[in-house]
Amino acid sequence: MVPLNNKPLTTSKLFLVAGLLLLAVGILFGLVGALQYIIPGLFKKYLSFERIRPLHVSSVVFWIIFGAMGGVLTYLQEHTGKKLYSALLLKIQFTIFCLSILAILVSYSFGVFGGREYWEFHPLLALPIAIGWVLFLVNFLKSMGSFRKQPVYVWMWLTGVIFFLFTFAESYLWVFPYFRNNVVNDMTIQWKSYGSMVGSWNMLIYGSSIFLMDKISNTKTYGHSTIAFVLYFTGLFNLMFNWGHHIYTLPTHAYVKHISYAVSMTELFILGRIIYLWRASLSTAKKHFYSFSYRFLAAADVWIFLTLLLAIFMSVPAINVYTHGTHITVAHTMGATIGINSFLLLAFGFDILNDTCRTFEPYKKMFTTGYWLTNISLFTFWISLIIAGVIKAQWQMSISQVPFSSMMQQLKPFFIGFFISGCFLVTGFIMIIYPLLKNQLACYFNPKPRDIFPAYPSSNGFSVK
Amino acid sequence: MPSDKQKMTVAVLLLVSFLSYSFYIYTSLPVKEIPVSKKTSEGKQVWQKYNCNACHQVYGLGGYLGPDLTNVYSKRGPNYISSFLKSGTAIMPNFHLSDAEIQSLTAYLQNIDSSGKADPRTFKIHYNGTIEQ
């Protein structure tokens, strides 16, 4: 028997804690937004949809960004076996990000915008975010030191950190009249940057998930294997060139669309590999299922399969004509941001925030219920959106179109399904987030070991290092 | 396991291709002739100021609560647009836009309309999976 750890709430952990808070806030905003689809005009005066949507989107996007940074910063230290280059830079970075997101959410609440879709905040607020990211880059490069003979996840982290900065800057090219004066030019650059930006934070998250998988299975073989690098370069190739699938219907250069179509099809290789390794994954899952971190990694694997399948379909222009501008696109986004990104980040959360003075033992049942509730309700949520999307696609292609409002009325049963499953999804997430945060804060304010439980690997799935 | 040299070669090749591709796109944007009035530019600012994209789409990109507005100008005309903007609807709030804001937003929607057609029914679908506008 060993006492529980009594490690302080470090700044790299704080990124995950802040991220979890943003997730909790973001999903509640999302629920209000979903309700506005069922009761049109609800809260129209004070919290109309043009405010709720960015409040929801920015909260969850920053959950992903905070979580991704928290994962990289913590695992980087475990990988090098050393502390970060500068704790001060890290604290400044954290403060800048926290103040920026706070200013962004407050400005949205008052109806102050000025940016564009996904970055609706005033462009001036982009500056501190860029500065904070530069500090992250400096700390990452200095902490790594040498990049010789590094495993694939270090390559992925480096790619993610650099490309996020590049694409974030690119997404603000619209401030120059040369880029924004024509809507087609403007949207081409906008979606070029957004497509690659998502790929860049995926690099950070997928890199950390490979690190975590190697850590759980106690092997270091995968991170150095040829297949890992082949998949990494396939992902990088897609990050760089497949963004055109967002704008197949925009009258932009034809070559942008053809390149994107061809490059997107290389993802079939990744899909094929998932199917080929399915049986092996199942036996690994049985072996490690006691670990909550592993459970979320396994759930994300299923969602990678479903989301990738949908993405490949949508990347065929002839199919995209039907799905574009419908809720099938939303289903794809939800699958990717919840099923993949959030589940992977929760896997990091269970691994990193587990290192605390309090045991999670009393919450084991709550975590299990939350886990299944999020997975099942996310699937129902996803299906509701796909059906709503199919109906909207039929409407879009119909020769005798009924008015837009009548079509929206036809979609109402699926919006109700989407809202109800959203309620269960939120409940599931809260059941997971609440104990994770509660234990961290309890240890922060009252840092005394309260309990003891068996040393790692424990049968209850919580490790003590 | 591939050597560092092999990995660096692939990474550099990809990076050079990406930067060249980006540079090419920046310097040869799809639309060269850009007749843009002061009103249109102001209209774009109004569009962003009130976050119209949260509910409306342009070329199928944006929010789904309201209709796609790419070709609303040619379909419905300026009077229809300004009456909606003046009073809002059961769902859309009345943003209390000034007359100048309504005029510039209408000019911006006219500008978007002149850039192309977003109706997917007008697209030609080929057997190889590609489409033509």
**Count of structural domains, chain A:** 1
Beta-carbon separation of B125 and A189 below 8 A = no
The residue segments making up the domain with residue A77 are 14-122
Whether omega before A457 lies within 30 degrees of 0, making that bond cis, reads yes
Shortest Cα distance from A461 to chain B (angstroms)? 33
Which of A44, A170, A185 has the CB atom closest to B93's CB atom?
A44
Contacts of A445 (CB under 8 A, 6+ apart): none
How far apart, in whole angstroms, are the C-alpha atoms of residue A72 and residue A212? 11
Whether B98 shows a pLDDT value over 90: the answer reads: yes
Q: Which of A36, A42, A49 to mutate to test the interface with B (most CBs of B within 10 A)?
A: A49
Give a yes or no: residue A180 inside a domain. no
Query: Which pLDDT score is estimated for A274?
Result: 77
**Residue A462 identity:** F
Query: Which pLDDT score is estimated for A4?
Result: 47
Give a yes or no: residue A277 inside a domain. no
Three-state SS for chain A is: CEECCCCCCCHHHHHHHHHHHHHHHHHHHHHHHHHHHHCCCCCCCCCCHHHHHHHHHHHHHHHHHHHHHHHHHHHHHHHHCCCCCCHHHHHHHHHHHHHHHHHHHHHHHCCCCCCECCECCCHHHHHHHHHHHHHHHHHHHHHHCCCCCCCHHHHHHHHHHHHHHHHHHHCCHHHCHHHHCCHHHHHHHHHHHHHHHHHHHHHHHHHHHHHHHHHHHCCCCHHHCHHHHHHHHHHHHHHHHCHHHHHCCCCCCHHHHHHHHHHHCCHHHHHHHHHHCHHHHHHHHHHHCCCHHHHHHHHHHHHHHHHHHHHHHHCCHHHHHHHCCCHHHHHHHHHHHHHHHHHHHHHHHHHHCCCCCCCCHHHHHHHHHHHHHHHHHHHHHHHHHHHHHHHHHHHHHCCCCCCHHHHHHHCHHHHHHHHHHHHHHHHHHHHHHHHHHHHHHHHHHCCCCCCEECCCCCCCCCCCC
Note the pLDDT tens digit of each residue in B19-28: 999 999 999 9
Give a yes or no: residue A419 inside a domain. no
Give a yes or no: residue A18 inside a domain. yes
How far apart, in whole angstroms, are the C-alpha atoms of residue B85 and residue B82? 5
Q: Name chain A contacts of B60, Cβ cutoff 8 Å.
A: 249, 324-325
Q: Name chain A contacts of B61, Cβ cutoff 8 Å.
A: 117, 187, 191, 246-247, 250, 325
B38-120 folds as: Cytochrome Bc1 Complex; Chain D, domain 2 (1.10.760)
Shortest Cα distance from B31 to chain A (angstroms)? 6
Predicted model pTM = 0.93
Give a yes or no: residue A51 inside a domain. yes
Beta-carbon separation of A120 and B54 below 8 A = yes
Give a yes or no: residue A268 inside a domain. no
Give a yes or no: residue A31 inside a domain. yes
Split chain A (465 residues) into runs of 10 and give each run's mean pLDDT.
55 94 97 94 90 97 98 96 95 97 97 93 96 98 92 96 98 95 94 97 95 85 88 95 95 95 89 76 71 90 93 95 96 96 95 81 92 97 97 94 94 96 97 91 72 40 40
Query: Which pLDDT score is estimated for B34?
Result: 67
Ranges of each domain in chain B:
1-30, 38-120
Whether B117 shows a pLDDT value over 70: the answer reads: yes
Kindly report the number of other CB atoms within 10 A of residue A231's CB atom.
18
B9 part of contact set with chain A, CB < 8 Å? no
A233 part of contact set with chain B, CB < 8 Å? yes
Which of B21, B36, B120 has the CB atom closest to A321's CB atom?
B120
Give a yes or no: residue A284 inside a domain. no
Token readout for A461 is 């799935």
CB contacts < 8 A, A to B, total 171
Q: Name chain A contacts of B62, Cβ cutoff 8 Å.
A: 117
Say which DSSP state B53 is in.
Answer: G
Note the pLDDT tens digit of each residue in B10-66: 999 999 999 999 999 999 998 887 677 899 999 999 999 999 999 999 999 999 999
Pick the residue from chain A with its C-alpha nearest to B133: A251
